[in-house]
């Protein structure tokens, strides 16, 4: 099979290793761009949320590059994620006449047998190599998350703007090229050292901002207009609420055995939003509260336009913000959103947080 899959942040590096390890050729579309979004918007229903459109555009690019199979995940809960791949399949096959196979992994706890049948079909290597591919994928994802977290810590301290982004980009390419777990670990150690060696101004005291919201827009820099990097270049330490390995542990592995994950977040959200509203809506509330308790200076909520879970969270956040005295900026993202507009809003938010910190420390008249 010539497999393509959703590009979401750096996750493609792990997924590429996985499918190649299972014995397939992978077709990696270019990083999402305006062209990708235009393509997706052209064929998606108008009401579809932004991630749907970007993914559809990405699949179209991959199909033009020769992909014949799309592998994606399904979803549960009261939002549209569960219908995504079904609708995309209909658009690609019936409306646009592509001869493409669409394989959807549903959450394990709902469909162990379905997952087994998909794997039986997908795995073209022996059991040992299958386990090896899973282990290598996991190690690559752990490495990518470790590198990204370190880049978030160092970026606001760097003496020359852009150094961290350049070093971490090379590090990602290095992890992509690694062929074994030993190689992944060795390269990660070297690249972490390289990041730590970046000239830094340790006298700075960066503001601390948490970034919350729907998983795709939080993880994919094209869709969120490089929010994490932009804030870092403004001298802000960003704590991203979602990393793929944590998410996989809490939502795929624990969930498979019906063990509730992210209980601290859900417990925190309880007084304001006791119900699951789909997507990351409940998490957005719980994480905002946890950031307040950890003394963060502010929170940025990333929400795709028309995303019901994040709209629900957005309607509750003002109350949370008032109760915990924590400024929250919501960015609604759609195909009209531009980088300049987002940067301007972030700049104003950072100014506000700086003044607030000075006031709290009694540094203003």
Q: Tokens 């370190």 sit at which residue?
A: 150
Q: How many other CB atoms sit within 10 Å of the CB of residue 64?
A: 12
Edge-to-edge order in the sheet of strand 328-333? 236-240, 207-213, 298-304, 328-333
Q: How many other CB atoms sit within 10 Å of the CB of residue 185?
A: 14
Q: Which of residues 193-222 bind ligand SF4 (CB under 6 A)?
A: 214
Residue 359 CB, nearest distance to ligand SF4 (Å)? 36
49 lies in the site for ligand SF4, by CB under 6 A: yes
Report the DSSP beta bridge partners of residue 209. 238, 298
Q: What are phi and psi of 297, to 5 degrees?
A: -85, -25
For ligand SF4, the closer CB: 57 or 278: 278
Residue closest to 223 by CA, chosen among 360, 334, 128, 81: 334
Residues 16, 53, 80, 153: which binds ligand SF4 (CB under 6 A)? 80
150 lies in the site for ligand SF4, by CB under 6 A: no
x/- contact string, 167-196, with ligand SF4 (CB under 6 A)?
------------------------------
Residue 202: strand, helix, or coil: coil
Residues 103, 134, 192, 308: which binds ligand SF4 (CB under 6 A)? 308
Q: How many other CB atoms sit within 10 Å of the CB of residue 36?
A: 23
Residues 279, 289, 300, 353: which binds ligand SF4 (CB under 6 A)? 279
Residues 235, 278, 286, 298: which binds ligand SF4 (CB under 6 A)? 278
Instruction: Tell me the residue length of the chain.
Output: 365
Residue 47 CB, nearest distance to ligand SF4 (Å)? 10
CA 105, distance to chain mean position in Å, is 18
79 lies in the site for ligand SF4, by CB under 6 A: yes
The CA distance from 123 to 137, in Å, is 15
Q: With contacts defined by CB under 6 A, name the span among 3-11, 33-41, 77-85, 147-155 that binds ligand SF4.
A: 77-85
Residues 150, 304, 326, 329: which binds ligand SF4 (CB under 6 A)? 304
Residue 191 CB, nearest distance to ligand SF4 (Å)? 32
Give the count of residues interacting with ligand SF4 (CB under 6 A). 12
For ligand SF4, the closer CB: 80 or 239: 80
Q: With contacts defined by CB under 6 A, name the span among 19-27, 30-38, 302-310, 347-355 that binds ligand SF4.
A: 302-310
287 lies in the site for ligand SF4, by CB under 6 A: no
Phi-psi region of 26 (alpha: psi -120 to 50; beta: other; left: phi over 0): beta
The CA distance from 92 to 217, in Å, is 23
Residues 210, 213, 232, 309: which binds ligand SF4 (CB under 6 A)? 309
Cα distances from 240 to residues 50, 145, 214, 229, 262, in angstroms, run 20, 11, 12, 11, 15
6 lies in the site for ligand SF4, by CB under 6 A: no
Residues that bind ligand SF4 (CB under 6 A): 49, 51, 79-81, 214, 278-279, 304, 307-309
């Amino acid at each position: 099979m010539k497999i393509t899959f959703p590009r979401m942040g750096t996750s493609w590096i792990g997924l590429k290793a996985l499918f190649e390890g299972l014995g397939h050729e992978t077709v990696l579309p270019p990083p999402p761009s305006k062209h990708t979004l235009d393509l997706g918007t052209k064929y998606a229903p108008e009401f579809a949320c932004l991630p749907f459109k970007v993914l559809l555009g990405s699949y179209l690019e991959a199909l033009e590059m020769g992909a014949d199979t799309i592998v994606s995940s399904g979803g549960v809960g009261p939002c549209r994620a569960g219908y995504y791949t079904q609708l995309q399949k209909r658009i690609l096959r019936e409306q646009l006449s592509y001869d493409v196979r669409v394989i959807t992994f549903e959450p394990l706890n709902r469909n162990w047998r379905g997952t087994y049948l998909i794997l039986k079909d997908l795995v073209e290597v022996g059991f040992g190599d299958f386990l090896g591919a899973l282990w290598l994928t996991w190690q690559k994802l752990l490495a990518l998350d470790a590198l990204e977290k370190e880049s978030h810590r160092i970026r606001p301290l760097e003496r020359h703007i852009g150094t961290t982004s350049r070093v971490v980009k090379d590090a990602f390419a290095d992890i992509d090229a690694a062929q074994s777990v030993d190689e992944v670990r060795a390269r990660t150690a070297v690249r972490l050292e390289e990041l730590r060696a970046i000239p830094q101004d340790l006298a700075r005291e960066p503001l601390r901002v948490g970034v919350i919201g729907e998983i795709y827009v939080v993880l994919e820099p094209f869709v969120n207009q490089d929010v994490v990097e932009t804030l870092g270049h403004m001298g802000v330490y960003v704590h991203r609420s979602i990393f793929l390995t944590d998410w996989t542990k809490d939502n795929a592995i624990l969930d498979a055995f019906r063990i509730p994950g992210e209980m601290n977040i859900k417990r925190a959200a309880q007084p304001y939003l006791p119900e699951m509203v789909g997507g990351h809506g409940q998490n957005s509330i719980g994480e905002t509260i946890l950031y307040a308790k950890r003394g963060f200076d502010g929170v940025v909520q990333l929400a795709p336009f028309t995303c019901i879970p994040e709209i629900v969270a957005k309607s509750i956040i003002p109350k949370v913000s008032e109760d915990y005295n924590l400024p929250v900026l919501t960015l609604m993202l759609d195909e009209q959103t531009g980088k300049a507009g987002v940067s301007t809003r972030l700049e104003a938010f950072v100014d506000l947080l700086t003044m607030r910190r000075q006031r709290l420390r009694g540094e203003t008249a």
